[in-house]
Amino acid sequence: MNVPELALTRQYAEIAEELAGAFAQVLSAQRFASGPRVAELEEKLASYCQVRFAVGVASGTDALLVALLALGVGPGDEVITTPFTFFATAGAVHRVGARPVFVDIHHSTFNLNPELIPAAVTERTRALIPVHLYGQVADMDPLLAFARAHDLAVIEDAAQAVGATYRGQRAGSFGRAACLSFYPTKNLGAYGEAGMLLTSDEALAESARLLRNHGMTQQYLHYCVGFNSRMDELQAAVLLVKLRRLEAWNQARRERASTYTRLLAEVPEVVPPAVDPREPASPSTLLGTVSLSNGPMRAGGHIFHQYVIRAPRRDALLEHLRARGVGARVFYPYPLHLQPCFARLGYREGDFPEAERAAREVLALPLYPELRGDEQEYVVETLADFYRG
């Protein structure tokens, strides 16, 4: 059996007719940048994510850049974030001239460990960027309390978490700003590059609108030096069609995640994802309990952008799965503090042991709303065969 890592063609088959109509409307209007569909998407996503404003941009990376610039983060500043995430998070900090300062992750959730943040703060610290990795919201209560006490801006990297919740509140609604990515593989994916900045701060939203359009409020009149990061109408049209299905798709992901966790109970070598059972969500999300020294972790309503296990002999297992038609993948094999381009920051192997351990052990199994039960059974049976030897 062949089980692809992702099967966007199955999703497309479900929405092809509606997409054709949406595309036809855009082509007929012949307006392609920052038009009425972008405005409609901004309004609907702001409401969905429980914020006042949403600003469409060209990518999730640009959303991070715009957020940092709008908050005035720049040369000489420091921004605390995780070393275990996609490169764009720290890359955006570097791009605005600030210094990324890494803090290790929690073993069970792979998200930033709030207990370790105080030791990383200096007089130059301006902001925190927690990443809601794999679709699970970071532990926001202690992080936000610390940020308030030290006058630090919080920028949520919610690129993988649109629709996730923490104590009943949507990802993207906690910080001064939040950033979404609509890369095609995301739970809410465009058919190209697109992103969104979320905020309830009106002044910050206005700054973001200026920055995404070369600082213009009217044609050829520039109030700041921005850049071109406009979202195009075709991507907004795709996302409006998909947004209507996002809740159902996220629930389907939770159900398939629950199936994996049940099946993996027969494979003691691997550790499935953990989710806080106190989070008000569907019973199918209650996949495990996360423990910290000070009690259960407040993890949040996972939407399973990825279903990520910890696996001994990970690289050999990955080769075994791929040889048998299972499209597994590693997110992410190299922690950011050990990336060659960040060597100047002075970090060394061993500085962040949990991030380094995760990079050696994590493996994402195929998971998407259209994944069939027999395919999941095949994935787990193939995985179990590896450990049987």
Range of the domain at 118: 8-243
pLDDT for residue 284: 37
**Domain co-membership, 252 together with 237:** no
Q: Please give the mean pLDDT across all residues of the chain.
A: 94
CATH number for 124: 3.40.640.10
Q: What is the mean pLDDT of residues 14-41?
A: 96
**Domain co-membership, 216 together with 264:** no
pLDDT for residue 182: 98
Tens-digit pLDDT profile for residues 316-366: 999 999 999 999 999 999 999 999 999 999 999 999 999 999 999 999 999
**Domain co-membership, 33 together with 153:** yes
Is position 215 within any domain? Answer: yes
Q: Are 55 and 196 in contact (CB under 8 A)?
A: yes
Number of domains in the chain: 2
Q: What is the mean pLDDT of residues 361-386?
A: 98
Q: What is the mean pLDDT of residues 219-231?
A: 95
Tens-digit pLDDT profile for residues 115-169: 999 999 999 999 999 999 999 999 999 999 999 999 999 999 999 999 999 999 9
CATH number for 303: 3.90.1150.10
Is position 1 within any domain? Answer: no
**Domain co-membership, 56 together with 152:** yes
Is 294 a residue whose pLDDT tops 80?
A: no
**Domain co-membership, 204 together with 251:** no
